[in-house]
Chains A and B, each alone.
Chain A
Amino acid sequence: MRFGSNFVMPFLVLGDPNYSTSLKLLRIAAESGANALELGFAFSDPIADGPIIQAANYRALSSGITTEKSFMLLKELRKHSDIPISIMVSMNMVFRYGIAKFYNKCKTLGIDAVLCPDCPLEEIGELLAESKKNKIYQVFMVAPSTSSKRLAEISKHASGYIYLVTVRGTTGIRKSISKEVAGLIKKTKSSINLPVYVGFGISSRQHVKQVIEMGADGAICGSAIVKMIKAKNPPLEKVRKFIKSLSLD
């Protein structure tokens, strides 16, 4: 099992702000104490993302990033690091690439997991078949509104880890972790026997600590990192330090 407990998982958009800097950032993220990486394929219309990650998608696309170049970045990264990698990709990009071809490509590159944020249980069929065939984890999201009945259904199909969204709204920086998160973690863990990582709004070491104390197996931190990558020459050292600061030991 490549996804375990006490996991810190930074999120970056592949190709943000451009190919070469993105590769540097990916290597920094992989070598700064993170336990796994969640890497997004840039998409023109990401509906679950707030302004910070929308801007990252836009930067990457305007620098000329494509699906093929995103895969090239992953290939480069794999030469340097064996860290578990989860892909966050919009359904249309997988569909256009060809679902079977996409998963097969992930397998060739040693990608561990795939999450399509706009593909819920109702539409997951084809993805699930390919993820099984290629031995890639299919990650599911769970939300505060996910019913117990639905959790049971998700537990039948999910693998790798559960991406638990504890806030209402899009990705973005938030000031604090609400008290109801502990209950949500407990509810999810009681139905699904997989590591539960909390994402959306995880913005500091304090937040990571809090959700893990509340019983989560890990935390995913995106916007707080991506926010530092505004320019063509992002402060690489600052990013490194911040990612390091998130780690628990």
Chain B
Amino acid sequence: MEKRVVFRSAWLPYLLVAPQIAITVVFFFWPAVQAVWYSFLLQDAFGLKTQFVGLQNFVALFNDPHYLQSFKITALFSVLVAGSGIVISLLLAAMADRVIRGALAYKTLLIWPYAVAPAIAGVLWAFMFAPSIGIVTYALKKMGVDWNWVVNGDQAMLLVVIAAVWNQISYNFLFFLAGLQSIPKSLIEAAAIDGAGPVRRFGSIVLPLLSPTTFFLLVINIVYAFFATFGVIDATTQGGPAGATQILVYKVFYDGVKAGDLGGSSAQSVVLMFIVITLTVIQFRFIERRVQY
């Protein structure tokens, strides 16, 4: 028979979850509601004058071809960041799992980049890839590649993707490593005895058993690419050249914080919020069904 723990008092469970709820409300729901409210307002930079303008901010947004272009760029950016971030870290985790000597050193080194703030990661990569003075640029020039991301949009996109992925790999790596280590060795051994090679074992046993982890990381990485990458972009391309790396969240940051346009920026963040909510719902409804727990 299942044993269930039941609280006798009616208010104790609420009291116990209250701190968590309070934090969620104050730091997540309240700002979100405020963003929705601000998106209907037109304000000057100091907040001295405020007027209610209804949906005007949204109308202006969707009439702006550059804003619509930003959607395409964001889609590309988040697919690249989430996709390559997951693949690379799975590869690294699979290899680190097999290492016997010095495993701790490898793991520590692989986890390190997570401790680096996105803005600093951006500056580091921008330095290495800086046109004319960067060390990687120098090597690329030797190989005959004309590396100049201040003008070439594709190269700028590549740079921000590399910087964003590098910053997130450690996080993915940790989860994959933990996932790999929780797979029972007996399963893999049994497959090996049946004659399955390393690739077959990985494809038929390890990968399906990792699917909950992969799904979780997919959600997290998409959210990361959508929300947490403006630091990288601000430190490197600032959305340029010619808007080639102008992802939605960077535009929110730029318009709101730098350009002082709170209404327009709030409207953008409301749009962004809906996109991520939709994406997460889709992920849970359709992809999660295929996940084997």
Chain B binds chain A: no
Chain B contacts to A: CB under 8 angstroms: none
